[in-house]
Structure 1
Amino acid sequence: MSWIFLLLAGLLEMSGVVMINRYHQHRNWQSLLLLAAGFGGSFLFLALAMKTLPMGTAYAIWTGIGASGGAILGILLYREPKDWKRLVFISIVLVSAIGLKLVG
């Protein structure tokens, strides 16, 4: 169950990052509420996952999901650059997170 919590934490981290961008575009209370909900939920599920997972592993995977997911969402939603080098390094982050799961 901890790995599911960690995955949810990472996905909510990604939504929080997207909401930062939305808040910069539309400074209203709905955007601010969604931003707070995304990051609040992310921290909640990270804390639940860390009840049984080692802190270093949980944090590394959480940040990996958030960073690579945020970069992928930037490419898909905001037309950020998607050259092959950028995609290679995003893949390295994801493979590293999967590696930590396999050895942990």
Structure 2
Amino acid sequence: MDWIFLLLAGCGEMSGVTALGFYSNTKKKLALVAMIISFVFSFSFLYLSLQTIPMSIGYSIWTGIGAAGGSLMNMWLFNESKSFKRFFFIFLIIISVIGLKFVN
């Protein structure tokens, strides 16, 4: 269950970063509210997951999900650059996060 909590926390981080992008582009209060709710959701599930997962592993995976997922979402939603280099380095983040799970 702890890994499900960590995945939910990562999804909350992704949605919070995406809502931050919407807010910075539109300055709408609804985007700000969505961002706050997403980050509260994310931190709550991160807290629950870190009850059993070591912090060094849990925090790294949570950050990786947020960074890679947020980048991909912003490339899709805000038409950011979709260069090979960006995809390559996002791929490296994902591989590193998976690697952390296996060396635990």
| 2:96 paired with 1:99 | no
- Distance in 1, matches of 2:67 and 2:28, equals 25
Instruction: Give 5+ residue unaligned stretches, structure 1.
Output: none
Q: Does 2:40 correspond to 1:40?
A: yes
1:97 Cα deviation from its structure 2 partner: 0.6
1:21-36 matches, cutoff 5 A: 21-36=21-36
Q: Deviations over 1:31-75 (max 9, x none)?
A: 221111100110000000000000000010000000011111111
Residue identity matched to 1:14:
M
The match for 2:74 is 74
Runs of at least 4 residues off by over 3 Å: none
Amino acid at match of 1:49: S
Report the residue type matching 1:43 in the other structure.
F
User: What is aligned with 1:15?
Assistant: 15
Partners in 1 of 2:102 and 2:77 — Cα distance?
A: 31
Over 3 Å counting, the alpha-carbon distance change for 1:80 and 1:57 in structure 2 is same
- The Cα RMSD (Å) is 1.1
TM-score by length of 2: 0.94
Single out whichever of 92-101 and 28-37 deviates more from structure 2. Answer: 28-37
> 2:75, 2:82 within 8 Å by CA — same for their partners in 1?
yes
Aligned residues: 104
In 2, Cα distance between the equivalents of 1:10 and 1:48? Answer: 12
Normalised by the length of structure 1, the TM-score is 0.94
Provide, for residues 8-50 of structure 1, a one-character-per-residue CA deviation record: whole Å limited to 9, x for no partner: 1011101000111111233333222111110011000000000
Gaps in structure 2 of 5+ consecutive residues: none
Q: Give, in whole Å, the separation in 1 of the partners of 2:27 and 2:71.
A: 23
